[in-house]
Amino acid sequence: MSKKMSGRMARNILLVFLYTIIGLLAINLFHKEEEPNLKLESLRNKYAIKDSSSVDHSKFTELQKEFKSPQEVTLACLECHNETHKEIMASSHWNWERASYIEGRGIKSIGKKNIINNFCIGTEGNEQACSKCHIGYGMTGDQYDFNNKKNVDCMVCHDQSDEYIKGSAMAGYPARNVNLKKVARSVGNPTKSNCGACHFNGGGGNNVKHGDLETGTLGCTREVDVHMAGNGMDLECVDCHQTRHHNITGQLYSVSSNNINRATCEECHTTTPHMSELLNTHTAKVSCQACHIPVFAKVNATKMEWDWSQAGKLKDGKPYFEEDSMGNHSYMSIKGRFRWEKNVKPEYVWFNGNAKHYLLGDTIDDTKVVVLNQLLGSHDDPESKIIPVKVHRGNQIYDKKYKILIQPKLWAPNKGDSAYWKDFDWNKAAAAGMKTIGLPYSGEYGFVKTAMYWPVNHMVSPKEKSLSCSACHNRTDSRLAALTDFYLPGRDGHDLLDQIGKITIFMAIIGVIIHGAARIFSSLKLEQEEKRNGGSDN
């Protein structure tokens, strides 16, 4: 007996020992202290040291004079930087176009010069106003001399005095009150406000176009943008958009179409930035931006819809505007009706870095939404990743008969010059605009729905705010609900199988309940019978 007892005791001790080990192993497996991400630390250290300029332009004798024109400033710059204009003149910031290979179209020269968008539609015929964002002086029309080095605007990118501003509809010239001497003596490496002068304000106001680039990113918090945050790394645009010989990396797919010269997260963060292996495998198919930019337009709203067909209403014969609750224009007689949105959830598309574009004169199917810049890619393409995009939806003028989009003439200094913004006559504006670009106009115009895709790359959130797994891996409101060309665990399943499976489990439960109930019932009956039999025996 005691032998048996001690044997059992030994067994119990052994069992306790075993379970303790299993328990400890489980704790060790399931609980892990977060390890520091050394990759990120070394990046922080690297960018904590800010470059200081090796020269002080304010001391240069060439810049100690009063400048009568901005061209004089350019010539002063070129006295030392005497070959730099060639670099500028090779850039698309200057040329507003570049040679690109377009899927199915071959090599075309495209850019701001000749691409139609669904904001202010296009620059052609409106150069005097649009060239506020050209890095040159004097672009009044389509006969601009792109070889005149005097017209290169060095100041717009290099001014560090916060003094320089280009005038409205002044063909790219600075506003008249700009103190050119002060600007010239301040020049240095471009900062966020230099780039932002155009890239924040494209489309006629702050954050109209991008949604993720706006004045709100200047001196913002880490919640808005971890990279540009004033209380964070405070990076400049050119820290990521690295530039050599004035060739700035980064592509804007409203006007670009090729997977070249891009600025990517991976350059700094590599393709395996996470401590988790499982997350790192995502980087093959999911862009960093997709998870790390859960919303954009975090500070100010961005334009999501633009309906040109509503334009032209006048009050007492005069154009007017209305504002929405956030103080943005919701209606303008000259432009039509808009919808603005703040803290926007992006849409998601596959993208391999290449885009198709609507080119002037392309015929459209006016029964469908015309995509002006189709981002190319698919799940099966190994180069493609899922990226977040802002989709800007428009309703814009087209030629009903020829089925082509119309480039209207919008701007002119005076009335009676066919410009829509002065005369409010679409027919005249269409005829004048199409004449400028050398395409026919039938005289019949209508409005067609269009869409533009703007990849969202900025306003990266702190990692705590990045998307959780279930934002995409869920059945009911997955962020990737629109991307149906692959199986996504958690989102997808086989509906019929799921139904059959559930029914099978249900049937099994019902089956055992019935079987069990029948057993209880029959055993009770048997007991009764036995009792009765027993009774009769007596």
Partner 1 sequence: MKKVYIYKRFERFWHWSQASLIIFLMITGFEVHDTIHVFGFNNAVMYHRIAAYLLLGLIVFAIFWHFTTGEWHQYVPTAKKLKDQIRYYTIGIFRGGPHPTKKTALHKMNPLQVLTYLGFKLILIPIVVITGVLYMFHKHIDQNSIIVISSIPLSTIAIWHTFGAFLLVTFLVIHVYMTTTGETLTSNLKAMITGYEEFEAGEKEKIKTKSKSKKGDESFATG
Which residues are at the interface with partner 1 (CB under 8 A)? 29-30, 271-272, 278, 280-281, 283-285, 382, 468-470, 473-476, 486-487, 489-494, 497-498, 500-502, 504-505, 508-509, 511-512, 515-516, 518-519, 522-523, 526
Exposed, middle or buried by CB within 10 Å (0-12, 13-18, 19+), for 368?
exposed
Which among 209, 210, 227, 93 is positioned nearest to 218, based on CA atoms?
A: 227
CB of 267 to partner 1, least distance (A): 13
**DSSP H or E stretch at residue 371:** strand 370-371
| Residue placing its CB nearer to partner 1 in the complex, 176 or 515 | 515
Instruction: Round to whole Å and give the CA distance between 469 and 483.
Output: 16
CB of 295 to partner 1, least distance (A): 20
| Residue placing its CB nearer to partner 1 in the complex, 286 or 370 | 286
Find the distance separating the first CA and the last CA of the chain, reported in whole Å.
45
Q: What angle do CA 483, 484, 489 make, to 5 degrees?
A: 95
| Residue placing its CB nearer to partner 1 in the complex, 317 or 534 | 534
CB of 343 to partner 1, least distance (A): 23
Would you say how long the chain is, in residues?
538
Instruction: Round to whole Å and give the CA distance between 345 and 452.
Output: 16
Q: What angle do CA 175, 131, 407 make, to 5 degrees?
A: 140
CB of 478 to partner 1, least distance (A): 9
Q: Are 381 and 397 contacting, i.e. CB atoms less than 8 angstroms apart?
A: no
Which among 384, 387, 389, 388 is positioned nearest to 352, based on CA atoms?
A: 384
Instruction: Round to whole Å and give the CA distance between 176 and 360.
Output: 35
Instruction: Round to whole Å and give the CA distance between 392 and 390.
Output: 6
| Residue placing its CB nearer to partner 1 in the complex, 36 or 382 | 382
| Residue placing its CB nearer to partner 1 in the complex, 451 or 488 | 488
CB of 496 to partner 1, least distance (A): 10
| Helix runs in 159-285, H state only | 180-186, 192-199, 237-240, 266-269, 277-282
CB of 4 to partner 1, least distance (A): 12
CB of 3 to partner 1, least distance (A): 15
| Residue placing its CB nearer to partner 1 in the complex, 64 or 522 | 522
| Residue placing its CB nearer to partner 1 in the complex, 82 or 271 | 271
